[in-house]
Amino acid sequence: MQSTKLHFDSALTPKGWRQDVTVSVAPDGMIASVETGRAEGVIHVSGIAVPAMPNVHSHAHQRFMLGLAECAGPGADSFWTWREAMYGFALRLSPEDLEAVAAQLYVDMLKSGFSVVGEFQYLHHQPDGTPYDEPAEMSLRCLAAAEAAGIGITILPTLYAFGGFGGQPPVPGQRRFINGADRFLRIVEALSRKAGPQTRVGISPHSLRAVTPELLREVIAALPEGAPIHIHVAEQVKEVEDCLAFSGLRPVEMLLKEFPLSDRWTAIHATHMTAAETEALARSGAIAGLCPTTEANLGDGIFPATDFATARGIIAIGSDSHITVSPAEDLRMLEYSQRLRDRTRNALAAGPGRSTGRSLYDAALKGGARSMRQPVGMIAPGYRADVTVLDADHPLLAARSQDAALDSWIFSGGNALVSDVFVAGRHLVQDRRHIHEETILRNFRNALRRLDS
Ligand SMILES: [Zn+2]
């Protein structure tokens, strides 16, 4: 790629909002400079440029069951009945299907303003549980999908060995997920060999139910220093009860006791915490990877975001089951959950007079970049040119600029306000259309047809 210059009417930079901004992008996709004024030969995109958002938690395969799990079952529906339905879908996906579903999902992510995805990938084996000849087959399909869509990816193959606390055997529905340390590390190695400049490789121990501390320590010892580690924790009350019954500790307590947490770790959900756990998780430097629309859809509970913020905890957001794919909607749901619980307003604004949308956006950019271990989250030299552009001509932005425009996007307009998205300076979404939209959509439709038959 050649170096390019992108010009925006306004942009959110580390120094605040700036008008009439030219961003110079080096051939490697990194930002070389950010200047005021419009030079010759720039690509002009009218609108409001903000750093694109990282999406730290994705299970791509779940995208194809959305809309199919919203009917009431014979008894009380819960996370656990939903999980049964999800396993049924997951058992049918072939490698081709996963690649097609993931590519469409990643296009949808880009069109909503995300530029990096953390893929927590636990479908490893053939439907009958036999490993593929290439044990990393399914995760490699996610890398191929990310490349086709152009999105950055932090691939997090899932370590899943057991069906419950204390090394219980897995259930038949989990047969595609299961690996011991050796085969799991072969998956990590295969992914590392294939990793391009927009890829990072980490791991995702599924949960404290699915690994033992001994197994996880063995795997971590074999990883490159600093490789990111994501784990589901304390999403469900039953998980807290099972953990207490097994160990006498709550899940977040157990995680903090067994491992030296740091910003290398992302605790996904961390919904059910005591005040002491909230404080200790914040102090550890681990990122809380929140998935507010999925957590609402699954009836998980409410994350203690105001207390976590007071303790200077770092948050990031993810679309998880992809019931919605929208940074705006996830940030909105996060804020609204606190308002509904506390009967208050502007719960997560960073202080008096500060915009709530801006406070949430800044926090999730910083935590998201850290969680993904990617050089993103700022329109500034040395960062990758991942930029989301809001359509300044949209009626909702007619008389809005700067933080008020961000608040209008997050609380009112959502995805409809995103017009253009760049990743590493590549103009992937142009006036609401992805550059490979037709091909990727055709493959997705074909996969759904195969899965329906
Ligand atoms: Zn998840």
- Indicate the burial class of 428 (C-beta count within 10 angstroms; 0-12, 13-18, 19 or more): buried
Distance 232 CA to ligand 1 centre (A): 6
Rounded Cα–Cα distance for residues 115 and 113 (Å):
7
φ/ψ (deg, to 5) at 159: -90, 115
Report field, pTM of the whole predicted structure over 0.85:
yes
pLDDT at residue 39 in the model: 82
Rounded Cα–Cα distance for residues 103 and 143 (Å):
9
Distance 411 CA to ligand 1 centre (A): 25
Instruction: Map tokens 């160990």 to a residue.
Output: 247
pLDDT at residue 86 in the model: 79
* pLDDT tier for residue 184 given thresholds of 50, 70 and 90: very high
Instruction: Map tokens 């039953």 to a residue.
Output: 238
Distance 177 CA to ligand 1 centre (A): 14
φ/ψ (deg, to 5) at 33: -155, 160
The pLDDT tens digits for 375-407 are 999 999 999 999 999 999 999 999 999 999 999
Distance 58 CA to ligand 1 centre (A): 7
Average pLDDT value for residue range 227-251: 97
pLDDT at residue 88 in the model: 78
Q: Is 102 helix (H, G, I), strand (E, B) or coil?
A: helix
* pLDDT tier for residue 87 given thresholds of 50, 70 and 90: confident
pLDDT at residue 371 in the model: 98
Distance 445 CA to ligand 1 centre (A): 25
Q: Annotated active-site positions, please?
A: 269, 320
Contact 150, 114 (CB under 8 A): no
pLDDT at residue 89 in the model: 80
* pLDDT tier for residue 64 given thresholds of 50, 70 and 90: confident
* Full DSSP string of 336-376: HHHHHHHT-SSTT-SSTT--HHHHHHHHHHHHHHHHHT-S-
pLDDT at residue 284 in the model: 98
What percentage of residues in the chain have a pLDDT greater than 90?
90
Rounded Cα–Cα distance for residues 78 and 296 (Å):
12
| Cβ neighbours of 264 (radius 10 Å) | 22
Half-sphere exposure of 188 (CA within 13 A, CB side): 24
Apex 155 CA angle, 192 and 357, nearest 5: 140
Mean pLDDT of the chain: 96
pLDDT at residue 66 in the model: 83
* pLDDT tier for residue 121 given thresholds of 50, 70 and 90: very high
Half-sphere exposure of 445 (CA within 13 A, CB side): 6
Residue 203: DSSP 8-state: B
* Residue 1: pLDDT over 80: no
Residue 313: DSSP 8-state: -
The pLDDT tens digits for 2-59 are 899 999 999 999 999 999 999 999 999 999 999 999 988 899 999 999 999 999 999 9
Distance 321 CA to ligand 1 centre (A): 7
Half-sphere exposure of 129 (CA within 13 A, CB side): 11
Least confident of 66-75, 209-218, 297-306, 327-336: 66-75
* pLDDT tier for residue 260 given thresholds of 50, 70 and 90: very high
Rounded Cα–Cα distance for residues 332 and 412 (Å):
9
Distance 56 CA to ligand 1 centre (A): 10
The pLDDT tens digits for 148-172 are 999 999 999 999 999 999 999 999 9
Rounded Cα–Cα distance for residues 377 and 89 (Å):
34
Rounded Cα–Cα distance for residues 50 and 433 (Å):
18
The pLDDT tens digits for 285-321 are 999 999 999 999 999 999 999 999 999 999 999 999 9
Contact 242, 165 (CB under 8 A): yes
* pLDDT tier for residue 80 given thresholds of 50, 70 and 90: confident
Rounded Cα–Cα distance for residues 143 and 147 (Å):
6
* pLDDT tier for residue 61 given thresholds of 50, 70 and 90: very high
146 Cβ contact list (under 8 Å, min separation 6) = 102, 106, 117, 119, 152, 153, 198, 199
pLDDT at residue 218 in the model: 98
pLDDT at residue 67 in the model: 81
Average pLDDT value for residue range 171-189: 96
Quote the tokens at residue 409. Answer: 């996007």
The pLDDT tens digits for 332-368 are 999 999 999 999 999 999 999 999 999 999 999 999 9
pLDDT at residue 305 in the model: 98
Least confident of 58-67, 120-129, 356-365: 58-67
